[in-house]
A and B are shown apart, each in its own frame.
Chain A
Amino acid sequence: MSSKQEPVVILLAEDDDGHATLIRRNLARAGVRNELVHVKDGQEALDYLFCRGRHAGRTLEAPLLLLLDIKMPRVDGIEVLRRVKHDERTSKVPVIMLTTTDDPREIERCYELGCNVYVTKPVEYERFVEAIRRLGMFLEVVILPRYQSPDDEKESRS
């Protein structure tokens, strides 16, 4: 994570398009202007992270911030979290878990595995953006003032 020039890329793994849209709109509204890559399941998130499959040619310049839904097809969010934190290439990537359940055992498990923040949906976007901002400061997330209008949020789907 030494690159000072490259802004952070937010990788969002979320199988529900509606949730992804809400997240993207609210981040844009709060002035988070980073590139957001949306993948639909855990397997694709791992492919992206480790530059495999359809993401084999990805360049490794930009530092990442991971937003992970828990319940996803193929590989679930907890498994992605586990693998990310167990691989020294990715263990420093900050991870925010996003889920609809507030089961304390699950929360406990995510923190044990090393997630940075656990956010329960329906997302309180203020807290959520605050969490991203906090992790972003550490990673130099580009955050612009709030006057930007919502149509600046054009997506950058991979």
Chain B
Amino acid sequence: MVALAALAGYLLIEHERVTMQREAIGRARATMSAVDAELKGHAETMQALASMRTLSEGALPSFRADAERVLKSQPQWIDVRLYSAEGQPLLHAGPPARGGLETGTLNRMMSLDKAAVGVVERIESAGRAAVRVYVPVTLDAGRRYVLSVALKTDLFQELLREQRLPADWVIALVDRDRRFVARVPAVPPGSLASESFRAAIASAPEGWFRGVTLEGFQTYTPYVTSALSGWVLGIAIPQRVVEAGSRRAIAIMVFGAGAAVAIALYLAWFFGRRISRPIASLAAAAASGKAAPLLGQPPLIAEIEELRKALAERESLVLREREALEAAALQARLLNEQKERSAQELSAINRELRHRNEENELFVYSVSHDLRSPLVNLKGFSSELTRASDEIARLLAQGASAEARERIRRILDEDIREAVQFISTAVSRLSTIIDALLSLSRIGRVEYRPQAVDVQATVGRVVDSLRATIRERGISVSVGRLPACWGDPSAIEQAFANLLDNAMKYLKPSPGGRVEVGSQPADGEAFSTYFVRDDGQGIAADDQAKIFLPFQRAHTGMVEGEGIGLAIVRRIVERHGGRVWVESQPGRGSTFYLALPSGPASAAAKAAAATEEEIA
């Protein structure tokens, strides 16, 4: 029995130790992969830098400017250096550093063609310790470079500190030369690791050893080696922590064994009596010849009955629990379905937002192009003016010869006049664009006074105002029956005016042409759908999505205008909760459709959605 207990005790302690060891190595591995991830992240940023066009074009001074810029954005980087494939330094950004590339690192990296990590070094000009990451760069033309970045060791110190190990533990990261990259508690980076650490990690890439820390503590240390950097990470656990675990195991074991013996003795005694007593009373009854009280109240059977009852109760409890579980599962399924539905809605909203975002980007792109184009002229011709006045000043200084006067006259007449002409064109162009932007933003902000709108009368007024153009160009305009809608009368008038104006603008150049305004039979009560149809030039399928965006035109440069007419229509219709779209065939004409709320109910339903879509 004692031997058995001793064996069990030993196994228990051993189990405790192995568990602890496993957990500690797991911890070390996890920390090491955080270190690896950090290094990889920096190597990736370097790859991105290396893929810059300035490097592939061999424009080293420009690449240096790129490197300076990236360096500024990377607080953990000390410098960026570029070497030739032979290890000769080509350029650097950041504080100066001496020397070429160490041959061992160079060869290893070039043969493997992947990033390499150096050993801890001190960068004197920056006054701090660093480790270098090297990335080989191969360009199409077969040119090869090595890009290198010095990373502050503080970065790794911080990473180790974030592990939040107990105060008396030690966590340390050493490089290939077994010098500290980082350690908590801290030591100067680059100092040599303890003898026991160096000896232990030389034998296997991963394991567990007993050693002494720099502070003189006895510890157990699990450690791992990184395949990426060749660095070793160890977590030194004080010996007494590990042994306290074993002592606890022994205590549990001893107490447990004692308790088990005591319980066994008691049970033996108790059941012994339970069984012996009825038999004794049976025997007594038998001896006295009285009726046996055996079935009357036999203590054993009563207990079995109790047990049965308890079991039955337990069973019904289990049943109830199972029902509750099933109900919960059903609930969960319903919740899940609801969640899926909301997820779908959410992804639809996301798609919509992404779409809006793309539109906004395109808008900003075209506006900035449209603004820049006249600015180029302003800038260019301003310096032309400066040049011309310098030239005149020079000619005047030479004395007023007839030849000089003639030259001055020509500069004034030709160069300066032309420059001023272009400058004034550019200025009015800029002011037109800015006016267009302002009117677009006004459409989004002006307050609406919703009411029933007589669309028939509204379109009639619009057609009247265009009479002159219609007559002049011999266009035939027909207006069908138009039901009323619900909205802001002046906004709706503007929408129709823009659509009609647009239709007439893009008719074929030849005289004639037809424009038709009408409505579609209502398919529900909520919206009235109107259309403006022309037999003009039509719009290519690719351009149909673009034309409702500001400053995007399908037929650039063919007619006057800023390209915001249809954008305004869309803005108005969407603020009403309606929709505008186009069907068109190039060469055969286009039909623009407008769906507007037919009554206050449908207008209110969509109003909230539309106000959130402020893009103008």
Contact = CB atoms under 8 A, between A and B. Distances in A.
B372 A73 contact: no
B425 interface: yes
Residue with the greatest number of chain A CB neighbours at <10 A, chosen from B365, B372, B380, B557: B380
Nearest to B368: A101
A40 to B, nearest CB: 9
Interface stretch (A13-21, A30-38, A51-59): A13-21
B38 interface: no
B376 A18 contact: yes
A111 B56 CA distance: 12
B422 interface: yes
Given A18-B422, A73-B558, A101-B365, A25 B372 contact: no
B365 A100 contact: no
B147 to A, nearest CB: 20
A41 interface: yes
Interface in B353-381: 365, 368-369, 372-377, 379-381
A74 B540 CA distance: 12
A103 interface: yes
Interface in B29-83: 53
Interface string A64-97: 0000000111100000000000000000000000
Contacts, number: 54
Contact of B376 (A15, A111, A121, A151): A121
A22 interface: yes
B373 to A, nearest CB: 6
A54 B46 CA distance: 53
Chain A, interface residues (CB within 8 Å), range: 20 to 34
B206 interface: no
B537 to A, nearest CB: 13
A122 interface: yes
Contacts of B369: 71, 100-101
Contact of A16 (B365, B377, B410): B377
B373 A100 contact: yes
B426 interface: yes
Nearest to A15: B557
A123 B381 CA distance: 12
Contact residues of A: prevailing secondary structure: loop
Nearest to A25: B384
B614 interface: no
Contact of A19 (B53, B377, B418, B556): B377
A101 B371 CA distance: 11
A19 B376 contact: yes
Contact of A22 (B368, B374, B377, B410): B377
B376 A73 contact: no
Contacts of A74: 556-557
A39 B380 CA distance: 20
Given A18-B377, A21-B422, A101-B365, A121 B558 contact: no
A18 B426 contact: yes
Contacts of A151: 410
Contact of B425 (A18, A72, A73, A123): A18
B381 A73 contact: no
Contact of A122 (B379, B415, B422): B379
A73 B556 contact: yes
A22 B381 contact: yes
A18 B558 contact: no
A19 B422 CA distance: 9
Interface string A126-151: 00000000000000000000000011
A72 B556 CA distance: 8
Contacts of B415: 150
A100 B426 contact: no
15 contacts: A16-B373, A16-B376, A16-B377, A18-B380, A18-B426, A19-B376, A25-B384, A71-B369, A72-B556, A74-B557, A100-B372, A111-B53, A121-B372, A122-B379, A151-B410
Given A19-B380, A101-B369, A123-B376, 9 more contacts: A18-B374, A18-B380, A22-B376, A22-B377, A22-B380, A22-B384, A25-B384, A73-B556, A100-B376
Interface of A: 15-19, 21-22, 25, 41, 71-74, 100-101, 103, 111, 121-123, 150-151
Q: Sort A-B residue pairs by CB-CB distance and give the 6 closest, nearest first.
A: A73-B557, A18-B377, A100-B372, A22-B380, A18-B422, A73-B556
Interface of B: 53, 365, 368-369, 372-377, 379-381, 384, 410, 415, 418, 422, 425-426, 556-558
